Amino acid sequence: MRYHLLVGTALAVALSTGQAYAQDQSPAQDAAAQSGADAVGEQPAGLTEIVVTAQRKVESSQRAGLAIDVVSSDELTRTGLTNSAGLGKLVPALSVQQNGGANTIIFLRGVGNFTVNGYSDPAIAFGYDGVYLGRPTSTSGMFYDLDRIEVLKGPQGTLYGRNATGGAVNVLPAKPKPGEFSGFANASYGNYDALSLQGAINIPVGEYGALRVSGNLTQHDGYLSDGTSDDKSRALRVQYLAELTPDLTVRVGGDYSFTGGKGAGSSYQGHYVYNPVAGAYSFVPSGLSKSTGLLDPAAQAYRQTLFLGLSGRTADPLDPDLYQNNRFYGANAEITWKTDAGTLTVLPAWRYSQLDNKFAAPAFIGFIQEKDEQFSLEARFAGERQGIFDYILGAYLFDEKVDGNYTFAQQALNAYQEFKSDTRSYALFGRLTANLNDRLRLIGGLRWTRDEKKFDGVADVFLVKCTQTVNFRPSCPTATLLPVGDSFTQLQAPFIVPPVGGATPIGTSGALLIHTQTAVQEPLNTSKFTWRAGFEFDVAPRSLFYGSVETGYRSGGFSLSQGYETFDPEYITAYTLGIKNRFFGNRLQLNLETFYWKYRDQQVNHTGVDLAGNQGQFTENAGRSTIKGAEVEAQFLATPTTLLSAQVQYLDARYKDFAYNQPTGATPPLTGCPYALSTTNAGQYEIDCSGRRAYQSPKWTLNLGAKQTVELDGYKIVLAGDTQFKTGRYIGFEYLAVQRVGSTWTSNADITFSPDDDRWSIGAFVRNIENNRIATAGPTYNAASAALVVTSPPRTYGIRAGMKF
């Protein structure tokens, strides 16, 4: 309640525009909303300057001494980006995938979160309107009416803090503009019955206030044959900005979004069969295409041929009744007070999400019912030119409560999890810049963070285990498999539910129903200093040479698996050198970045068998990686109407150490990595993936783009196209051959016709011209040793229209 009162108080202050002081002219709004000319001085003709606030100050992206990619609002509109999954097409360093339910998994240069749940944290800090979002599931429904998206590459341990080991993504909405009545409306329609409607209106309130209301509707049919990988989303955002005095500005906002439909789907690639004589697995292709969803009749028929080794019989069809019913709410404020000593910025925020999903992408039914509530408060004071120094001092509070119920109904094994997680994090941070002369600046930063976590959860696991064999293979063909249900109280006859640690026979089938339970009641407290040291040197008026060393960490967490109840934080140290240039009268931009990251105690989530003998996924500090490479970005304004762009990344990301244990069973572990019986842990295999390339880490990524404007008498035609090339990479952490994707190309094109003043436009687009369903994730259904694949959208095309006023 105190959190709601704080945000409400900020709202009440902002609405008091009638008390705003008279002034001769409107002061500057929030720094991020200023034009490039305001922020970086008068611009010469040529390439446009892009203003960013990634370092908590307003500056040109070309004058910011860090590795950053920026996606402008125009580019977001042109590419039709409506969710975080599309960011990977625009930023070479980024990989984003959606694996069922509300799960969004983000990797940046091989650093990311292997899993998404309510008791572990992401490795890429995702921020919306300056507010860190603790749950990756909460990143839905915000990609509309944006000013820009900033992607920071590398750890951001001082200004962003915990859970930014790989970098940060900042989604920044367009802000209200006092004194201006304006707005826009965009619509598009395409194949798969795709409809997108987006609009905003900016209404002046008095002389020094403004209200901005934005909305979005996006929907399309499923990209897979069973109707999965669809989209049905709605979103609304309301913001109010008041310039109360020449030095005091308050902005408040509220937002709501809804995500429905069936959610992400997947397809069967095939399954593995173990040959005890040869002592090896062989792969049997499914014969199904990547567009055949798991609920398609052909896929359901294939599923019934899959053998569940634990239960001694083949699998049953999947329940086809899938749904998403996810709702997200938020309220935030930004209070900016300029004084003679510096500028104070205060950011209170509240977020709430309610998840209700039933999905089948892992080839079993999953239920996610979860409520997440977070409150955060950040205060920063920034001073400029105090002698030779600029500085930022800040404090941060984050409080999050998660209440979840998860069910994973795998037929042979059902896991029911109920938990509550409470996280409180405090931080103090600062950054000092010494302006040694007009060209050289030294930067130092330090942050202290205290994380206090509490977890209270219980997992009940039921296993149908066959006790009889035929020809050395479990055989219980009449055993009844576990039903789909969101709680174990729904287990009915022929099951006699055993007590914890017990087993009861399933009729006369020869199978037993075994019940185990893992209860976790653990605190997990961590204190950590992270730091940054760097320099910036102006080689020429439009050439910046920079370098830095920065550390970061991701907090530890919990697993509801026996023997793996907690895991520790992970740490990273990143070394960066780069140069940013503009040449030929501001017509050529050429930027180079080199990087070397050392990653230790890496949190690796993998499939395995816990110490109770249950199959599942759990997290260990099993990894140590070295990540190095370089990135070159170029833009060339060849003529006033021709813009060419290129961005290429070379990435060498490898696990120096990546070994973990798995209990022995009837068959060896299904993995592409070497394994052997452990010499230190009896009854365990040691699986060693050391030396492998990191997950989701192509060696080369290339983005090329071109935009040509054809000028007519008062009108113009804009032709645009882009393509992305990636070399081979692994998309599954078992490193199986079917989890390796070869080199891929994806190309897009569009055409737009409009008057010179852009007050309206019409156009057409085609995305993924090659119609390649590129594999983005390769999970396995371990109960049947089946290999799955999640793919990117197929070729889509359509028409669009827009207007501005």
Which of 305, 264, 275 is CA-nearest to residue 287?
305
Contact 209, 243 (CB under 8 A): yes
Q: State pLDDT tens for residues 365-380.
A: 999 999 999 999 999 9
User: With 70 as the cut, is the pLDDT of residue 37 above it?
Assistant: no
Distance of CA 200 to CAs 144, 239, 252, 303, Å?
9, 11, 16, 47
Task: Indicate the residue type of 241.
Answer: L
Q: How is the chain split into domains, by residue range?
A: 9-16+25-269+327-461+518-804
Sign of CA dihedral 159, 624, 647, 738: negative
User: With 60 as the cut, is the pLDDT of residue 616 above it?
Assistant: yes
pLDDT of res. 101: 60
User: With 80 as the cut, is the pLDDT of residue 28 above it?
Assistant: no
Helices (H), 253-395: 297-303
Distance CA 138, CA 143 (A): 12
Q: Is 518 helix (H, G, I), strand (E, B) or coil?
A: strand
Q: What is the mean pLDDT of residues 12-18?
A: 38
| Confidence category of residue 171, pLDDT binned at 50, 70, 90 | very high
| Confidence category of residue 38, pLDDT binned at 50, 70, 90 | very low
Q: What is the mean pLDDT of residues 777-787?
A: 92
Label each residue of 68-112 as H, E or C: EEEEEHHHHHHHCCCCHHHHHHCCCCEEEEECCCCCEEEEECCEE
- Identify the H or E element spanning 12: helix 2-14
Q: State pLDDT tens for residues 102-143.
A: 677 889 999 988 777 888 898 999 999 999 999 877 777 889
At which residue do the structure tokens 């987006």 appear? 198
> Counting Cβ atoms within 10 Å, is residue 501 exposed (0-12), middle (13-18) or buried (19+)?
exposed
Distance of CA 667 to CAs 177, 264, 612, 700, Å?
65, 31, 17, 37
Q: At the topology level of CATH, where does 9-16+25-269+327-461+518-804 sit?
A: Maltoporin; Chain A (2.40.170)
Quick check: bond before 494 cis, omega within 30? yes
Least confident segment among 52-66, 98-112, 307-321, 476-490: 98-112
Look up the pTM and report it: 0.90
User: With 70 as the cut, is the pLDDT of residue 2 above it?
Assistant: no
> Counting Cβ atoms within 10 Å, is residue 214 exposed (0-12), middle (13-18) or buried (19+)?
buried
Q: State pLDDT tens for residues 468-514.
A: 999 888 999 999 999 988 777 777 777 888 999 899 999 999 999 99
Q: State pLDDT tens for residues 644-675.
A: 999 999 999 999 998 888 878 778 999 999 99
pLDDT, averaged across the chain:
90
Q: What is the mean pLDDT of residues 424-441?
A: 97
